[in-house]
Amino acid sequence: MIIEARDLKKHFGSIKALDGVTVGIPKGITLILGPNGGGKSTFLKLATGVYRPSAGEIRVFGEVPWNNGRLKARFGVAYDPPAFPQFTTGREWLTLFAESKGFGEEEVERVAELFEVKGFLDKRISGYSSGMLKRLSLAQAFVGKPELIFLDEPLANIDFDSMERVIEIIEEMKKTNFVVISHIWEPLIPIVDWVVVIGNGKLVLSGEAEEVQEEVEKLFKPHIERSKRKGAQEGPSSSGQEGRQTPATR
Ligand SMILES: Nc1ncnc2c1ncn2[C@@H]1O[C@H](COP(=O)(O)OP(=O)(O)OP(=O)(O)O)[C@@H](O)[C@H]1O
């Protein structure tokens, strides 16, 4: 196991963000799922040493992440929402970050190309769209090809082509381990090895992707029936207009 949590707790005042999670995450690609406010990002921040556990323990590569610069140098992280200094350019920020990890301009170019951020790299971050911010945060997480990469919502706010690209990049990096939190889970399932579900501060499920896929589908596949809405629109109580309005009819 590359990550092991034992009775892990994180409380913020009376909020029990994590309330006794015991779980092991193996090598490969792990997907963390769960409802809003369930504790996923808190788990990630405990694993990356941003938070210190209120009780229990978490270890990454056998080490405690809190206050552990040596361990932090071994992984990359993209948090959600991405946070950057606003008045630097993407290039300045990536260069500073790469240098802090012992890499130079070449590595900045590599990750910038990988996530197609080159077109706006010399603009100030304050002018970036949500998708640009997401792609810059992904580029940062991949600097130096770390052996473990944590990604919080890597597919949020990016267009379909970029989504496919991100999934391909993750799949191609065979030697890298990934821990990915994503509400957009379906396109990730084919490449995922392990799934962890955290809800209400507790572990709900942990297992091999193939074995738990059915259960995951039961828990998280949205069941929206088109016919009901159509029926409501066309029914006697509707405004009398048929079907969906086009911009011209509004
Ligand atoms: N720094 C904080 N201070 C206070 N409460 C916090 C803090 N971080 C998280 N929480 C609370 O802890 C709980 C778990 O939050 P967390 O962000 O871990 O959930 P999540 O599963 O990542 O949710 P989402 O899917 O909405 O991103 C929530 O009730 C949240 O409000």
Pocket of ligand 1 (CB under 6 A): 12, 15, 17, 34, 36-42
CATH of domain 3-74+147-249: 3.40.50.300
Ligand 1 atom nearest to 39, measured from its CA: 18
- Ligand 1 centroid to residue 242 C-alpha, Å: 43
Please write the tens of the pLDDT for every residue from 192-210. 999 999 999 999 999 999 9
244 CA to centre of ligand 1 in angstroms: 38
Per-residue model confidence (pLDDT) at position 249: 39
Give distance in angstroms: CA of 39 to centre of ligand 1. Answer: 6
Nearest CA to ligand 1 atom 4: 12
pLDDT at 236: 53
Q: How far apart are CA 22 and CA 205, in angstroms?
A: 11
How would residue 244 be classed by pLDDT, with cut points 50, 70 and 90?
A: very low
Q: Structure pTM?
A: 0.89
Atom 17 of ligand 1 has which residue's CA nearest to it?
41
* Rounded Cα–Cα distance for residues 112 and 37 (Å): 32
User: What one-character DSSP code corresponds to residue 239?
Assistant: -
| pLDDT tens for each residue of 140-184 | 999 999 999 999 999 999 999 999 999 999 999 989 999 999 999
User: Atom 3 (ligand 1): residue with closest C-alpha?
Assistant: 12
Handedness of CA 80, 85, 89, 91 (dihedral sign): negative
How far does residue 170's CA lie from ligand 1's centre (Å)? Answer: 26
Quick one: pLDDT band at residue 225, thresholds 50, 70, 90?
Answer: confident
Average pLDDT taken over every residue of the chain? 91
pLDDT in tens, 85-136: 989 999 999 999 999 999 999 999 999 999 999 999 999 999 999 999 999 9
Distance of CA 126 to the CA centre of its chain: 22
As a whole number of angstroms, the distance between CA 239 and CA 218 comes to 36
72 contact partners, CB below 8 Å, separation of at least 6: 48, 49, 65
CA–CA distance, 154 with 180 (Å, rounded to integer): 8
39-94 pLDDT, tens digit per residue, is 999 999 999 999 999 999 999 999 999 999 999 999 999 999 999 998 999 999 99
Q: For residues 91 and 30, what is the distance between their CA atoms, to the nearest angstrom?
A: 30
The 8-class DSSP code of residue 115 comes to T
